[in-house]
């Protein structure tokens, strides 16, 4: 069991990036255009051992609004609007496909939202067929989809499974009825258990359940009950997210009353209890918000120092070129990030003009690529091989990162980090505070060029 020291958590609790990318999304700019994106796409087609492809499709539609939601989503029951969106998604597939070598294969596919299963089963099958017509998949491809048990039928899951999907992720947040009502997500336990049973019956390889702490009316006792039920369901992976109440950014969050939320101290107690309970039940703490069974691919990849992290979260498929399609989605190639337009109108207009719908992005410098690799290794493996970095990037590590190493001294004193001539190792509680370690290698924060507002690190 991972024991949690609340005093250390309080000491290091501060705002900081989640490092799904480096540089982080607030640094993306509109000077980056679709031409910059295409230049990099073409470059990725040349050389030896070309990276596999990772595909992400953003399906933003939902049936109802969850008040805690921070995603880019659209509540609609207008089937014609959904059909039009899928039509344009196919246009984007056609456009992207023309620039990528046809023999490059897909090792990872993810549908996110919104709620991809807000599509009808026939629409799911149709879109899968279109993707499969345009891209060739590797036999061991990791194909995942987010689902919502509340409007799910077995036919939805059959359409996904028949189309090659082998991983499912679904939101639970909390089984407590009072909390569910306060966040406008009524999802009885039996609906979740039915969805899990269907997923297992249809032969999917992996199930992830999402939980959230810090929601209205949560207590240690109520959330412990939810955790016990989730442990009994026994998913392969569990993600436990920290709810950040940001009504100034997401207006609908104002429908959650601040006085109903746990205090900061209560949230830390919820976090402590969650980690201790899940690790006692045999789950491995992967990092950030994620837990997995020891035999799960994520846990194995972490042990083998092969874990990877991008906008889709943690993955065992490292080093892919990520092509993300749909509104607001973010692609990631070797030297660039490219984000699509956020509104349907702008997205459709760009595609009508046969233009990749890039709204903004970022071209990475050599320094960015070095720092991204250092941060990624720490975030994924809790360890950094210093000679390996020096060899790959032709630097003197201790000179290049002199400021970072000085700033890490406090975490070393608190027995959270260990630094030798050859390694930086994250220890014990330091794994929970990994964002605090990674932030020391962020050049934009070091140079005080980062004014973005971030969530708390724990």
Find the mean pLDDT for residues 347-370.
Answer: 97
pLDDT at 156: 98
For the record, the structure tokens of 60 come out as 């933003």
Q: Is 63 in contact with 151 (CB distance < 8 Å)?
A: yes
Stretch among 2-6, 253-257, 344-348 having the lowest mean pLDDT: 2-6
pLDDT at 107: 96
Give tens-digit pLDDT for 100-131. 999 899 999 999 999 999 999 999 999 999 99
- Asked if residue 1 has pLDDT above 90, the reply is no
- Asked if residue 248 has pLDDT above 90, the reply is no
Strands (E), 80-119: 106-113
Give one DSSP letter per residue of 397-429, joined into a string: HHHHTHHHHHHTHHHHHTTSEEE-SSEEEE-GG
349-356 contacts at long range (C-beta below 8 A, 24 or more positions apart): 350/34, 351/88, 351/91, 351/92, 351/95, 354/95, 355/34, 356/34, 356/37, 356/38, 356/92, 356/95, 356/96
Fold designation for 1-23+366-452: Arc Repressor Mutant, subunit A (1.10.10)
For the record, the structure tokens of 131 come out as 């993707």
- Asked if residue 189 has pLDDT above 70, the reply is yes
- Asked if residue 431 has pLDDT above 80, the reply is yes
Find the mean pLDDT for residues 392-411.
Answer: 97
Q: With bands split at pLDDT 50, 70 and 90, how would you rate the model's confidence at 199?
A: very high
Residue 53: name the closest of 332, 361, 355, 357 by CA: 332
Rounded to 10 degrees, the C-alpha dihedral 91/95/97/100 comes to -160
Taking phi first (over 0 means left), then psi (-120 to 50 degrees means alpha), and beta for anything else, what does residue 19 get? Answer: left
Residue 105 gets which letter from DSSP? Answer: P
Q: With bands split at pLDDT 50, 70 and 90, how would you rate the model's confidence at 242?
A: very high
Find the mean pLDDT for residues 84-110.
Answer: 96
Q: Is 364 in contact with 336 (CB distance < 8 Å)?
A: yes
Q: What are phi and psi for residue 330, nearest 5 degrees?
A: -120, 120
User: Containing H/E element for 130?
Assistant: helix 121-134
Q: How far apart are alpha carbons 442 and 432 in whole angstroms?
A: 18
Cα separations (Å) of 235 from 140, 176, 195, 201, 220?
A: 21, 19, 12, 14, 22
Q: How far apart are alpha carbons 23 and 181 in whole angstroms?
A: 38
User: Containing H/E element for 120?
Assistant: none
Q: How far apart are alpha carbons 278 and 41 in whole angstroms?
A: 42
Tell me the sheet residues that pair with 293: none
- Asked if residue 287 has pLDDT above 90, the reply is no
Find the mean pLDDT for residues 207-213.
Answer: 97
Residue 262: name the closest of 198, 205, 216, 207 by CA: 216
Find the mean pLDDT for residues 399-418.
Answer: 97
Tell me the sheet residues that pair with 291: 238, 285
Percent of the chain with pLDDT over 70: 98
Q: How far apart are alpha carbons 132 and 106 in whole angstroms?
A: 10
Residue 170: name the closest of 201, 202, 205, 146 by CA: 146
pLDDT at 396: 98
Name the CA radius of gyration of the chain, rounded.
Answer: 22
Q: How far apart are alpha carbons 15 and 2 in whole angstroms?
A: 24
- Asked if residue 456 has pLDDT above 80, the reply is no
Q: How far apart are alpha carbons 102 and 105 in whole angstroms?
A: 8
Question: 197: helix, coil or strand?
Answer: helix
Stretch among 15-29, 330-344, 381-395 having the lowest mean pLDDT: 15-29
Q: Work out the end-to-end distance of the chain between its first and last CA atoms, rounded to an integer number of angstroms.
A: 19
> What residue segments make up the domains of the chain, in order of their start?
1-23+366-452, 25-323
Question: 396: helix, coil or strand?
Answer: coil
- Asked if residue 373 has pLDDT above 90, the reply is yes
Give tens-digit pLDDT for 4-36. 888 888 898 888 888 989 999 999 999 999 999
- Asked if residue 457 has pLDDT above 70, the reply is no
Q: What are phi and psi for residue 359, nearest 5 degrees?
A: -95, -40
pLDDT at 5: 83
Give tens-digit pLDDT for 137-177. 999 999 999 999 999 999 999 999 999 999 999 999 999 99
Q: What are phi and psi for residue 278, nearest 5 degrees?
A: -70, -40
pLDDT at 9: 87
Does 3.80.30.20 match the CATH number of domain 25-323?
yes
């Amino acid at each position: 069991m991972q024991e949690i020291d609340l005093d250390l958590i309080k000491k290091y609790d501060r705002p900081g990036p989640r490092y799904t990318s480096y540089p982080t999304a607030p640094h993306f700019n509109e000077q980056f255009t679709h031409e910059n994106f295409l230049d990099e796409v073409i470059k990725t087609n040349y050389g030896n051992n070309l990276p596999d492809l990772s595909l992400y499709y953003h399906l933003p539609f939902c049936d109802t609004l969850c008040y805690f939601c921070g995603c880019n989503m659209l509540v609609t029951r207008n089937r014609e609007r959904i059909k039009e969106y899928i039509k344009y998604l196919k246009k984007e597939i056609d456009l992207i496909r023309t620039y990528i070598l046809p023999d490059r294969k897909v090792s990872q596919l993810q549908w996110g939202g919104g709620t991809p299963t807000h599509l009808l089963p026939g629409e799911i099958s149709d879109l899968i067929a279109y993707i499969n017509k345009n891209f060739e998949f590797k036999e061991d491809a990791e194909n995942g989809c987010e689902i919502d048990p509340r409007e799910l039928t077995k036919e939805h899951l059959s359409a996904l499974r028949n189309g090659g999907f082998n991983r499912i992720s679904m939101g639970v947040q909390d089984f407590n009825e009072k909390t569910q009502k306060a966040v406008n997500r009524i999802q009885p336990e039996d609906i979740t258990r039915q969805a899990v049973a269907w997923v297992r019956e249809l032969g999917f390889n992996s199930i992830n359940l999402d939980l959230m702490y810090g929601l209205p009316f949560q207590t240690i006792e109520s959330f412990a009950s939810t955790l016990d039920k989730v442990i009994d369901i026994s998913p392969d992976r569990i993600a436990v997210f920290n709810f950040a109440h940001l009504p100034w950014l997401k207006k609908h969050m104002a429908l959650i009353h601040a006085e109903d939320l746990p205090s900061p101290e209560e949230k830390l107690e919820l976090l402590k209890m969650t980690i201790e309970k899940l690790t006692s039940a045999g789950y491995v703490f992967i990092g950030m918000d994620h837990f997995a069974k020891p035999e799960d691919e994520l846990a194995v990849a972490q042990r083998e120092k092969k874990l990877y992290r991008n906008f889709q979260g943690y993955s065992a498929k490292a080093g892919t070129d990520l092509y993300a399609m749909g509104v607001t989605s973010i692609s990631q190639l070797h030297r660039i990030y490219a984000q699509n337009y956020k509104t349907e109108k702008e997205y459709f207009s760009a595609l009508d003009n046969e233009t990749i719908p890039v709204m903004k992005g970022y071209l990475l410098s050599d320094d960015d690529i070095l720092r991204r690799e250092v941060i990624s290794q720490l975030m994924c493996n809790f360890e950094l091989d210093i000679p390996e970095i020096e060899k790959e990037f032709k630097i003197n590590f201790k000179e290049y990162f002199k400021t970072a190493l000085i700033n890490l001294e406090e975490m070393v004193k608190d027995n959270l980090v260990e630094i030798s001539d050859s390694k930086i190792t994250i220890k014990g509680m330091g794994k929970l505070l990994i964002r605090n370690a990674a932030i020391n290698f962020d050049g934009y924060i070091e140079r005080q060029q980062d004014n973005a507002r971030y969530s708390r690190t724990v």
